[in-house]
Amino acid sequence: MQISKIEVSVLSNQTIDPPKKGKVPLSAPLTLPNWVGVTIHTQEGAVGCAFGDFPHSVELARSCIERELAPLMQGQSIHENERHFLRVTRHFGPLWAGFVARCYSLIDIAVWDLKAKSAQLTLSQFLGGVRSGISAMTVPATPLGSSAEAILSQARSSLDQGSLGILIPVGSAEPQFDADQVQHIRDELGANAWLAVDAEERFDLSTALVFSHFLDDVQADWFANPVPPNDPAGLARLAQSTVVPLAVGTSFHSIHSFREALQAGHARVLRPNPYLLGGLTPLIKICQVAELFPVSIVPDCPEPMGVHLGCGLPAVSLIPVWGAALPRLNGGPVWQKGKLTPNAQHGLGITFGND
């Protein structure tokens, strides 16, 4: 199958109000990502699609995809994704990492959607079909500084359907406020529920060390992104002083960063983001290499994509649920016996809007 046309569509642009109570001042409503969709048409009439979040202007994304990337993909076979990835990264050189990679990621994901459809398989089956369902944890779409009650309220629907627990954002100006929120949520969920925090690289080492001891006490399952990635010595120190597993990788832009993290051995959870990496092609490599190390993979991507990685690849042990932040899609995964399961449609199993 050869690519004949690539279309870009804006799926949503949402805002939510800042917290009215809390310790983190926000001067304006939190803007959730602009969700952009890409549809690839082939000369044979097949259609593949993908969607992703853009913190930048959707018009910049549209221009990059339609004017810069689409001409490079015109007439290319959907079955040569490795060659396309190398060709595009070499074409853009130092400009690749960042915005261009995020734009190309949608093309790469849509190509994988087409590849699975051409084999008449779900994407999870095409990747290997290691399991029929995957456990999930909830990532609330609430601003940093929201009350524990707001976080629990936003997560309640997915918790009722089978989500194991909540990934709580921390890193406000007052660590004690963060700790109080985590303790409140732990008390509400109970001692056996899955619970983790994500500092999103906001803590310095001294704050992270103190906070890690608190997380030991509440028996947290992870401490994600505790310090900036340019502080590997700090991460090593933290790993030596806490029993809580460390999770890293949501800001990594290349497979080389994950290789270094695996070799260092300080983190027990890796969180590759396909949009930052340039698609599923590099992310799948990371998952395959991770099988050789004592780590688990929890991809940082929405559940319509994550469910296929979780059900298709052995290294993926858990996926996030971003339900409240997603655009309107047709299809997607379903809850079955407390786990997320791909629907029966081939490929990613999604379409946009009223399709």
In order along its 355 residues, the chain shows pLDDT tens digits of 899 999 999 887 654 454 554 444 433 344 566 899 999 999 999 999 999 988 777 889 999 999 999 999 999 999 999 999 999 999 999 999 999 999 999 999 999 999 999 999 999 999 999 999 999 999 998 888 889 999 999 999 999 999 999 999 999 888 899 999 999 999 999 999 999 999 999 999 999 999 999 999 999 999 999 999 889 999 999 999 999 999 999 999 999 999 999 999 999 999 999 999 999 999 999 999 999 999 999 999 999 999 999 999 999 999 999 866 788 889 999 999 999 999 999 999 999 975 4
129 and 114 in one domain?
A: no
pTM: 0.92
271 and 146 in one domain?
A: yes
φ/ψ of residue 184, rounded to 5: -60, -45
Give how many domains the chain has, as a whole number: 2
Q: Provide the residue range defining the domain that includes 308.
A: 125-352
Instruction: Return the HEC string of 301-330.
Output: CCHHHHHHHHHHCCCECCEEECHHHCCCEE
172 and 278 in one domain?
A: yes
Amino acid, single-letter form, for residue 271: R
319 and 212 in one domain?
A: yes
User: Is residue 344 packed enough to be buried (19+ CB in 10 Å), middle (13-18) or exposed (0-12)?
Assistant: exposed
Tallying the residues shown for the chain, one arrives at 355
Domain closes at, from 120, 148, 180: 120
166 and 86 in one domain?
A: no
148 and 59 in one domain?
A: no
Tokens of 20: 């009215």
CA distance 106 to 181: 36
Tokens of 101: 């990679």
88 and 130 in one domain?
A: no
Tokens of 308: 């296929």
195 and 96 in one domain?
A: no
211 and 321 in one domain?
A: yes
Instruction: Give the strand pairing for 3-12 and 15-16.
Output: unpaired
pLDDT of residue 268: 96
Tokens of 286: 């990371």
CATH number, domain with residue 114: 3.30.390.10
CA distance 137 to 270: 15
Gyration radius (Cα) of the chain, Å: 20
CA distance 235 to 55: 27
The answer to whether the CB of 225 falls within 8 A of the CB of 201 is yes
CATH number, domain with residue 323: 3.20.20.120
